[in-house]
């Protein structure tokens, strides 16, 4: 039976009224398992009206009480972890352990937001002038919105709405229409945690809903995560309408393998970071850069059998699968096309997973692990974010060549280096022009009390996601200059005060 999903507006599930729907698939079987409504302007207006009405009362709630709601939300996430992970896996296709990680990395940001009372403190200077006190306060922007991608349907929504709500804003979440169930479940948990109705609304939709967010006069801030072309579009249209906007786009993350690296650690790192979640991660390692021919030969010799032996299975097959299917048939078609293109361009396909079929799941969106060698920077498979279980190996003749390769790439999301040499690692960290760097760490996603953000075409806007930057993004600074007259009349001043 095909379920019909809803929006979540003013604290309740609301049926779609636009008459437009999108299919939600089970990626393992290829079958439609639900239909999600695609919002029109009326539905977006209703959500924003609900948020606008609820926001002043929520902002007037003191930060400590707001933090208690987040604290209870964290408790409920722990309670429903397995339920959330299973629902996530069923729509996205990633394994259940990977789905639990998706939830936990969002939960960690929620935990950080419990510290909102401290993070929202302003500054104060007594006696900044004769009888004058000067201080600043941080106030919410009002109604904020988040447009989030399919690949982390729990984590990234929480990266957006948890700090926004902790700051006293109301929030409109527009999740991916490919896997919308978990965002709706998160909204239910926030209400159960004590959040007033209307403070968090979930509106499902496609480009029409995105444009309605970007053009709506009552939305003051917008956060986005997705592909670079759409990030540029959202940033341009949102800022043109006077909004505060932060957008995070695509990536092409490199892992530099120095000759002195522990090759067993490198292979483990590339296996997990390159093929986990079928490569559908913005921080996936998609390019291995061994330095020197001997290093490259050793890497391929060890990595190829590892890729060939990976277990690919649907989430229902237990917790020992390495990765599952891609999210849609279109995603599978795109990935297979890029693999074909790599072969045409002359790259050596050491491990070919294009023919992978799983008995009983022949209609699923599975692609086996693929490993390319002898990839060059002019090839499409190097320049394009594949977003599939495909790793390209680009051989570098020196450390400087490897460093330049990562630095010159148009994306600047994440990068890693594997080495035993502290001088090399320190030099790399200092010189590479990438926003998040790992030293013997393959996926350098910072912990919740730092901040997440890339450089160059991976990010648009001045502030990063979560951490202290999120509290800056979702608040406006108001600076107050205050003097209480002591009864002495000084007369008018016509020169600029100093």
Catalytically active residues are 282
d(CA 280, CA 385): 10
Neighbours of 92 (CB within 10 A): 30
* Best CA proximity match to 288, nearest among 226, 350, 368, 229: 350
Q: Sign of dihedral through CA atoms 177, 178, 182, 183?
A: negative
**DSSP H/E element including 203:** none
* Best CA proximity match to 349, nearest among 357, 340, 362, 358: 340
d(CA 85, CA 108): 16
d(CA 113, CA 103): 15
Q: Is 242 left (phi over 0), alpha (psi -120 to 50) or beta?
A: left
d(CA 246, CA 286): 25
d(CA 140, CA 161): 13
For the chain, the farthest-separated pair of C-alpha atoms sits apart, in whole angstroms, at 90
Dihedral of CA atoms 438, 443, 444, 449 in degrees, nearest 10, equals -160
Strand partners, 134: 125, 481
**DSSP H/E element including 135:** strand 132-140
Q: Cα(first)–Cα(last) distance of the chain, in Å?
A: 73
* Residue carrying structure tokens 């398992």: 33
DSSP state at residue 194: T
* Best CA proximity match to 130, nearest among 473, 470, 494, 498: 498
Can you read off the two tokens belonging to residue 257?
């393998």
Is the CB of residue 325 less than 8 Å from the CB of residue 316?
no
Dihedral of CA atoms 175, 179, 183, 189 in degrees, nearest 10, equals 170
């Amino acid at each position: 039976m095909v379920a019909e999903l809803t929006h979540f507006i003013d604290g309740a599930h609301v049926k779609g009224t636009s008459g437009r729907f999108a299919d939600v698939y089970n990626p393992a079987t290829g079958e439609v398992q639900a239909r999600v409504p695609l919002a029109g302007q009326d539905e977006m207006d209703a959500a924003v009206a609900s948020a606008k009405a609820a926001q002043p009362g929520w902002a007037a709630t003191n930060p400590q009480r707001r933090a208690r709601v987040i604290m209870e939300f964290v408790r409920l996430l722990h309670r429903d972890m397995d339920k959330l992970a299973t629902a996530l896996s069923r729509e996205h296709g990633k394994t259940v352990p990977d789905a639990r990680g998706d939830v936990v990395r969002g939960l960690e940001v929620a935990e950080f937001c419990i510290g909102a009372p401290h993070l929202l403190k302003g500054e104060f200077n007594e006696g900044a002038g004769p009888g004058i006190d000067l201080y600043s306060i941080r106030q919410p922007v009002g109604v904020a919105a988040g447009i989030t991608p399919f690949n982390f349907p729990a984590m990234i929504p929480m990266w957006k709405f948890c700090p926004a709500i902790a700051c006293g804003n109301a929030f409109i979440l527009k999740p991916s229409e490919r896997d919308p169930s978990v965002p709706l479940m998160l909204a239910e948990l926030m209400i159960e945690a004590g959040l007033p109705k209307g403070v968090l609304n979930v509106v499902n939709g496609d480009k029409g809903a995105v444009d309605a967010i970007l053009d709506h006069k009552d939305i003051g801030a917008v956060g986005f995560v997705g592909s670079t072309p759409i990030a540029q579009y959202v940033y341009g249209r949102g800022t043109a309408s006077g909004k505060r906007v932060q957008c995070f786009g695509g990536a092409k993350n490199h892992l530099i393998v120095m000759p002195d690296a522990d090759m067993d650690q490198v292979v483990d790192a590339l296996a997990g970071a390159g093929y986990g979640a079928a490569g559908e991660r913005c921080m996936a390692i998609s390019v291995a850069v061994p330095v020197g021919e001997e290093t490259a030969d050793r890497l391929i010799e060890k990595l190829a059998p590892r890729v060939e032996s990976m277990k690919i299975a649907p989430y229902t097959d237990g917790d020992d699968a390495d990765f599952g299917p891609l999210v849609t048939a279109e995603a599978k078609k795109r990935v297979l096309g890029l693999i074909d293109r790599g072969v045409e361009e002359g790259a050596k396909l050491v491990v070919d997973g294009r023919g992978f079929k799983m008995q009983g799941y022949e209609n699923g969106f599975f692609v086996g692990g693929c490993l390319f060698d002898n990839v060059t920077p002019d090839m499409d498979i190097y320049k394009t974010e594949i977003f599939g279980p495909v790793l390209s190996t680009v051989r570098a003749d020196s450390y400087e060549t490897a460093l330049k390769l990562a630095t010159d790439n148009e994306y600047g999301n994440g990068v890693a280096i594997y080495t035993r040499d502290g001088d090399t690692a320190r030099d790399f960290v200092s010189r590479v022009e990438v926003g998040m760097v790992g030293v013997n760490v393959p996926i350098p996603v910072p912990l919740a009390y730092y901040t997440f953000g890339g450089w160059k075409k991976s990010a648009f806007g001045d502030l990063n996601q979560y951490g202290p930057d999120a509290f800056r993004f979702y608040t406006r600074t108001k600076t107050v200059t205050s003097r209480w007259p002591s009864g002495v009349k000084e007369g008018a001043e016509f020169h600029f005060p100093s």
